[in-house]
Amino acid sequence: MRCRELCRWAVMVGVVGTAVGAAGEEPAVVRVAGGGVCPGRLMASDDPGVLVWQGEAFAGPFRFAAGRVESVDWRPVQPPPRPSGAFRIELDGGDTLFGELVHLDGEAAEVDLGLQGRLRLRRDAIRRMDRWGDGSALVYLGPTGLSGWKSEPEGGWRDESGRPASDQPGSVLSGAVGMPARAVIDVELSWERRGDFVLVLGSGSDDRATRRAFRLEVWNETLVVVRETETEADLAALGGLASGAGRLTLRMYLDQEAGRLIVVAPDGALRADLTVEARHPVVGEGVIVENVGGDLRLDRLQVMRWDGLLPEAVADRGRVVLKDSAAVAGQVERMEGGSLVVRDGEGRERRLAIGEVAGFTLEGRAELSGAEVRLVYQDGSRLSGALRRIGTETVTLERPGVQGLVELPRAGLRSLVWLRGSGGSEEVTGQARLELDDGTRLHGRLVDGEGGPGQSCLRWHPTGSSLAAALKPGVAGRIVYREPPPVVDPPTQPRVAIRRVRPGAGPLMVLDRFRMALEASRDAPRHPRGPALYLRSGDTIPCQVTRIDEEGVYFNSPMTTSTFVPHAEIKAMELAPLQLRVLVGKVKRERLLTLPRMQKDSPPTHLIRSRSGDYIRGRLVGMDGETLRVELRLEERQIDRREVAYVIWFHPDELEGAQAAPAGGNQAPAERGETRLQAVRSDGTRLTFRAERLTEGVLKGRSDVLGPCEVVLSEVDRLILGASVEREAAELAAQRWKLKPAAEPRIADAETGEGPSGLESSLVGRPAPDFELELLNGGRFHLAKEKGKVVILDFWATWCGPCLQTMPQVERVAAEFKDQGVRLVAVNLQESPDEIRGMLERHQLGPEVALDRDGVVAHRYGANAIPQTVVIGRDGVIERLYVGAAPGFEQALREALRQVVSGDGAKEEEPGAADSRRDQ
Amino acid sequence: MRLAVWLALGLMVAGWAVPAWGQPPGVRTGEVIPRDVREMYDRGLQYLASKQDENGTWSTGGPEAGPGGTGLALLAFLASGEDPNYGIYSNVIRKALRSIVKEQDPTTGIMGSSMYHHGFGMLALAEAYGAVDERALWGGEKPPRSLAEALELAVRGAVTSQKKNPLGAWRYSPDATDADTSVSGAVLVGLLAARNAGIEVPDEAIDKAIRYYVSMTSEGGQVAYSGIGGFDDSLARASIGCLVYALARRKDLPQFAATTKFLTSRLEDGGGSAYPEYTRYYQAQALFQADVAAWEKWNKLLVRQLKPLQQSDGSFRGQWGPAFNTSMSLLALALNYKFLPIYER
């Protein structure tokens, strides 16, 4: 015993050797003040005031001031490891450990934590120990991403490094976590901007049960717990939620049968104790989290079976609960020979075998002072303290109640959370923001840099870091200096529009036109005033176009010394303002962009719009100072250049189903440390180039199209990086003018070998419309009189080639069934008897022909395409309807007749289909 | 002296203007062949020359290998204006020609496994006859028959086949009783070329075949494939119809006007058809015969469409074997040279 004390509260770290090796290398995400996020790896640091972070997208590390770091989060492992040890040990300040009680005396306890080693704790740091049966009490520990959770609407919640997160208001996340009737629930929620949410505990399978469950809700920035049943309702306020980023950690004791919910703060303080009974208690097994109007992340949820032992906040101290639920009042003094020695109120000692003890309380206080960080492990255990050192494999804390330093393994960590309120978000306003595809979001600024092997010339200095680091080449994303102006809906501002119709101020008009077409554009770029070229890369070059030939466009621009761009790079050219502002409706736009089937192999390459608003499609052959030469329907025409407002280029690879445009060979720059980027300047011009160096706020590089170029950062709204250039370019209005092939007619697939089913028409299953028509050879045909017979109507005309192909087939099949009461009537569409007779003679056909002189019958049978063959059953119901001369038609018709004749019609074959049709 | 021989020969056998071999092809019509056409054509010929088998045929895959395929490749060489006897491709031309003659059945006169082969082979023979110096054709080998004899025999084979056919036209087999406008086009154009070359072709044969086409042509200018009805928008068949009316000197027929109108109103529909190479091959000749102005417009589009189809080795991408695609594509372009007698208007 004494020798253990001689250890002077030292911690005995029995780090388990396995599975620790690369623990420090596990990818994680750091969150810093002001909404900063950076995926990467936590590096070792002896200075607890500095967090050294190697971002994934960066060539070197950052050194963040610890005061600005909010948390480091590792990916949750699936399934979460179960902690080992018989007892769940609750310490002051809400810390929780799992382990075996090895020793207990008047001063200290020693616990064996398994993976985290042995820890010797002062008695007054321990609040209680509960037997939890190696996790048998654990019902749910998570979440690990969205698995097991359902998001409504889909995509409303996303997986943010293992934690479900949402910034879509109204997004509901529900999970059946298997909530027992009596449960201890630990929940941690956090948000970046505003916490406005609902948390339902014990939600049921139906709405009613869910409505009657206990709920945490935010009412006017106040967190309340509320329950409403059919008989009563009550609520309690838990406290206010400050605006801005926040984190909520609560422990709740829920007894669904008794209708009681006890809410306790991490420090053990009672926040609410609410009892609202229901007439018929229902045990709901689910949890629902709804992001009502802010943003929200579900960081942690742990559900354990509750043995009913009340939290100390609502119960007296000094009790031991036995496995049979009997409680013994008294103070636990020590452990001796496998028994707890308990002294009761009268001073008598009682020995209780440790194996019989379900739980007991000690002297631990609620609050814990001096804790700066909390380590949370994947198995749910957590320990707070002051951070002393981050090693490659361990984290060292100093914790009251533990003498000396606690060295804990990094393996198995889930989060490292800084506990003081987040500060410093005000410092990031006015800073630029780096947003990368890997999720990086860091405020800061670009500092001077030069590209080299493995690093680009873009060196990012995040706010709060003492070090800048170069982006790796080829990283995709953007740097935002100024937010784009809000989209102004042009139709609501007609006056502005009219005022803009001044000479020389017009180009905006055209661009508004583009903007109009940009239905779901996320940002409405400002545009340069004056004639300009728009490249497919998204570049906008204000310029005077001097001429166009078959190679490309020649121009003069103040922006570049280059004077030529090949056709393949161009998307649009603006020459002059529109004289009138005419909006292009969706229908007109679709028509302008539909490529007729006839032109499929020689699609128009340009769309030209006159200043008066007219459009023509054709091929721009050339242009000089005076005229545009345009090929229209293979004929060349000349257009006065002064009449043209703008020209849009259509490229073959833009067509649907076309092969993607070649990548453009931008792989090489990455190796040379060049980063391809697009500068969006505040005047709306865009310039794409490979950045080579940044010196004193001037970014220099080389454009594939325009040669050497530079931009002054102070004039830049945004820098778009890497692959995002193409992605954003695709969103630009001009780029969305792309031809779309007209729909191809549906042709039955001859290769399947299956004939048409004849069941697709909505007329199938309906009573055949009655009619009476004159017959070619005299007499009349009245359908209603044919009840009891099977009638085939073959709608046709002499000018219809396919009709003449199918008619002999129909005739043949009808003849086969002649003896079984089948009558064929070929309903001719609006032709003279002479014409019909001539044709029948030439083709030696002899069906009975009815004359639908005004086409009324064809209309009733929806015969807007012929040949159309309709089979009417004996009961006067349409059984089959075939359109066109499809392969396999004859056999299909024969089979259909066989079924219809034997009374085995469409309804029997496809009950669902036919019945639903009849119900219509 | 050489020139004189050819002039004499040409005048003797056909009465059509014999090209002045050896001069730049453009000189003949006073027009300059567009540079991109010339480049494409030359690269295509180089490809074909490199892929010819020792026996004179092209077997780059596909059922099109045979006297028809050989004939079309041969036509591509003849159509460019390269001197067939002394130019760089004279050996290619001679080998191809020998192969076609050797493939001919000495009894029936039929060349190849189907009347397609026979028709295209006959066309090639007709165009070569009079242009190729037969003294150098066979080298040391004993000629099975002269080109004139081979052509006459081929005409007889076609006419015999037609006589057996109740429709007065042709289908794949020489003994078929059925006909279609596609096979018949190949044979009929071959016959007309032979007649132009001075070989006797009975008027009755031409008239019967034209009657067949008239029966297969709709008022709108569509030409059906086979059997009854079934008029569709096939540009290939409308082109064949239009071409045979023109070559048979039957521009007086309303069907000629109808097919011409059909074609000239669809200049831009081009390769949208199911058989783009085949379509372009006939469309070029039909438009050229029917409406030169329309052909000129269409020809621009043709060049535009073919350019991206030509591969780095000079062959053309398409639905057949590369040699056949190349021959067909070159022959669609060949109207720019206006060189083959069959292109005479």
Both tokens of A26, joined, read 């596990």
Mean pLDDT computed over A676-698: 89
The contact set of B with A (CB < 8 A) is: 224, 228-232, 266-272, 276, 297-298, 300-301, 304-305
How many cross-chain Cβ pairs, A to B, lie less than 8 Å apart? 47
Specify which residues B296 forms β-bridges with: none
* Residue among B300, B304, B317 with most chain A CBs within 10 A, to mutate: B300
Which residue among B272, B276, B298 places its CB closest to the CB of A634? B298
Say whether B267 and A843 touch across the interface (CB within 8 A). no
Confidence at residue A825, expressed as pLDDT on a 0 to 100 scale: 93
Architecture of domain B35-337: Alpha/alpha barrel (1.50)
pLDDT confidence of A530, banded at 50, 70, 90? Answer: confident
Going by pLDDT thresholds of 50, 70 and 90, the confidence category of residue A75 is confident
Chain A residues whose beta carbon lies within 8 Å of the beta carbon of residue B269: 598-599, 601
Q: Whats the size of chain B, residue-wise?
A: 345
Looking at residue B62, its pLDDT comes to 64
- Per-residue confidence at A510, pLDDT binned at 50, 70, 90? very low
What's the maximum distance between 2 C-alpha atoms anywhere in chain A?
125
pLDDT: which is higher, A747 or A382: A382
Count CB atoms within 10 A of the CB of residue A92.
25
Higher pLDDT, A306 or A485: A306
A338-342, A576-580, B186-190: which range is least confident on average? A576-580
Whether A804 contacts A879, CB under 8 Å: no
Render pLDDT for A287-306 as a digit per residue (tens, 0 to 9).
999 999 889 999 889 898 88
Report the pLDDT value the prediction gives residue A904, as an integer from 0 to 100. Answer: 59
Instruction: Report the candidate in A532, A567, A521, A562 with the shortest Cα–Cα distance to residue A548.
Output: A567
Residue B57 has pLDDT above 70, yes or no: yes
A interface with B, Cβ–Cβ below 8 Å? 597-602, 631, 633-635, 801-805, 842-843
Mean pLDDT for all residues in chain A? 80
pLDDT bracket for residue A909 (50, 70, 90): very low
Q: What is the pLDDT of residue A366?
A: 61
- Per-residue confidence (pLDDT) for residue B96, from 0 to 100: 96
pLDDT interval class at B107 (50, 70, 90): very high
- Chain A residues within an 8 Å CB radius of B300: 631, 634
- Identify the closest residue of chain B to A842 by CA–CA distance: B228
Strand A357-361, strand A339-343: pairing: unpaired
Architecture of domain A772-919: 3-Layer(aba) Sandwich (3.40)
Question: Which residue has 């359902």 as its token pair?
Answer: A150
Residue A130: what pLDDT? 82
Element (H, E) at B329: helix B322-333
Is the pLDDT reported for residue A8 higher than 50?
A: no
Q: Do B228 and A600 touch (CB under 8 A)?
A: no
> Given a cut of 50, is residue A422 above it in pLDDT?
no
pLDDT given for residue A649 in this prediction:
94
B168 vs A425, higher pLDDT: B168
| In contact, B286 and B259? CB cutoff 8 Å | yes
pLDDT bucket at B319, cuts 50 / 70 / 90: confident
Q: Looking at residue A666, what is its pLDDT?
A: 41
Confidence class for position A271, pLDDT limits 50, 70, 90: confident
> Does the pLDDT of residue A4 top 50, yes or no?
no
Strand partners, A556: A544
**Higher pLDDT pick, A865 / A605:** A605
**pLDDT greater at residue A237 or residue B187:** B187
pLDDT value, residue A211: 85
Closest to B268 (Cβ–Cβ): which among A599, A842, A843? A599
Closest CA to B194 of B161, B154, B160, B165: B154
Query: Which residues face A478 on adjacent strands?
Result: A435, A720
Contact A634 B301 (CB under 8 A): yes
Rounded to 10 degrees, the C-alpha dihedral A478/A482/A485/A486 comes to 70
As a whole number, the mean pLDDT across chain B is 87
Give the nearest chain A residue to B270 (CA atoms): A601
C-alpha dihedral (B160, B165, B166, B167), degrees to nearest 10: -110
Q: Is the CB of residue A647 less than 8 Å from the CB of residue A657?
A: no
Share of chain B above pLDDT 70, in %: 88
Alpha-carbon distances of B70 from A491, A819, B122, B326, B338, rounded to whole Å: 67, 57, 11, 12, 21
Supply the pTM of this predicted model: 0.62
- Residue A558's Cβ-count burial label (10 Å; 0-12, 13-18, 19+) is exposed
Strand spans (E) along A716-758: 716-721, 740-741
- Bigger pLDDT: B169 vs A177: B169
pLDDT above 60: residue B59: yes
Question: What does the DSSP 8-state code read for residue A419?
Answer: -
Do B269 and A598 count as a contact with CB atoms less than 8 A apart?
yes
Report the SS3 class of residue B174.
Answer: coil
CB A11 within 8 A of CB A405: yes
CB nearest to A598's CB, from B230, B231, B268: B268
Q: What pLDDT is stored for residue A854 in this prediction?
A: 85
Residues B184 and B174: their CA atoms lie apart, in Å, by 11
Measured distance CA(A567)–CA(A559) in Å, rounded: 19
Which chain A residue lies closest to B229 (C-alpha atoms)? Answer: A801
Best of B228, B291, B304, B306 to substitute, by most chain A Cβ atoms within 10 angstroms, is B228
DSSP states of A466-479 as a string?
S--EEBPTT--EEE
The confidence band for A509, taking pLDDT boundaries of 50, 70 and 90, is: very low
- For tokens 């006017």, the residue is A220
Q: Which chain A residue has its CA at the smallest distance from B304's CA?
A: A602
Question: Which of B228, B231, B272 is nearest residue A601 as measured by Cβ atoms?
Answer: B272
Looking at residues B307-328, what average pLDDT do you find?
A: 93
Query: Residue A16: what pLDDT?
Result: 34
**CA distance to partner chain A, nearest, from residue B328 (Å):** 18
- Tell me which residue in B228, B272, B305 faces A597 most closely, judged by beta carbons: B272
Q: State the best of B222, B265, B268, B307 to mutate against chain A, taking most chain A CBs within 10 Å.
A: B268
Interval A257-268 mean pLDDT: 84
For A138-306, give the CATH class: mainly beta
H or E stretch at B83:
none
* Distance in angstroms (rounded) separating the CA atoms of residues B251 and B286: 12
Q: How far apart are CA B296 and CA B41, in angstroms?
A: 17
Which positions in chain B touch A805 (Cβ < 8 Å)?
228-230
Tokens of B251: 């521009």
Band of residue A429 on the pLDDT scale cut at 50, 70, 90: low
**Which of A599, A602, A620, A621 to probe by mutation at the B interface, max B CB count within 10 Å?**
A602
Asked if pLDDT for residue B262 goes beyond 80, the answer is yes
Going from N- to C-terminal start, the domains of chain A cover 2-20+75-135+317-418, 27-73+443-473, 138-306, 490-654, 772-919
As given in the structure block, the two tokens for residue A92 are 């002051």
Residue pair A669/A725 in contact (Cβ under 8 Å)? The answer is: no
Cα end-to-end span (Å), chain B: 29
Rama region for A700: left / alpha / beta (φ>0; ψ in -120 to 50; rest)? beta
Q: What confidence score (pLDDT) does residue A281 get?
A: 84
Which tokens in the block code for residue A96?
A: 């929780």
Picking from A504-508, A689-693, B43-47, B302-306, which range would have the lowest pLDDT averaged per residue? Answer: A504-508
Are B229 and A597 a contacting pair at CB < 8 A? no
Pairwise CB contact (< 8 Å): B304 & A602: yes
> What's the burial of B200, exposed, middle or buried (CB within 10 Å: 0-12/13-18/19+)?
exposed
Nearest by CB: A801 against B230, B267, B298: B230
The DSSP annotation for A541-552 comes to: EE-EEEEE-SSE
Asked if A634's CB is within 8 angstroms of B297's CB, the reply is: yes
pLDDT above 80: residue A622 = yes
Q: What percent of chain B has pLDDT over 90?
A: 71
| DSSP-assigned letter for residue A422 | P
- At A277, the pLDDT band (50, 70, 90 cuts) reads confident
Q: Which of A550, A551, A601, A845 to mutate to test the interface with B (most CBs of B within 10 A)?
A: A601
- What number is the ipTM of this complex? 0.71
Cα separation, B26 vs B32, whole angstroms: 5
Token pair 């139906």 is at which residue? A206
Pick the range with the lowest mean pLDDT from A416-420, A684-688, B272-276. B272-276
- Which residues on chain B are in Cβ contact (under 8 Å) with A634? 267-268, 297-298, 300-301
Measured in angstroms, the CA of B247 and the nearest CA of chain A are apart by 26
Q: Is B160 exposed, middle or buried (0-12, 13-18, 19+ CB in 10 A)?
A: middle
Average pLDDT over residues A500-524: 35
User: pLDDT above 70 covers what percent of chain A?
Assistant: 83
Shortest CB distance from B229 goes to which of A598, A633, A804? A804
Residues of B in contact with A843 (CB under 8 A): 228-229
Nearest to B229 among A599, A635, A801 (CB): A801
Q: Kindly list the distances between the CA atom of residue A129 and the CA atoms of A348, A399, A695, B248, in Å, as whole numbers in the listed order.
A: 22, 19, 62, 109
Q: Cβ contact (<8 Å) for A843 and B229?
A: yes
Highest mean pLDDT among A513-522, A741-750, B35-44: B35-44
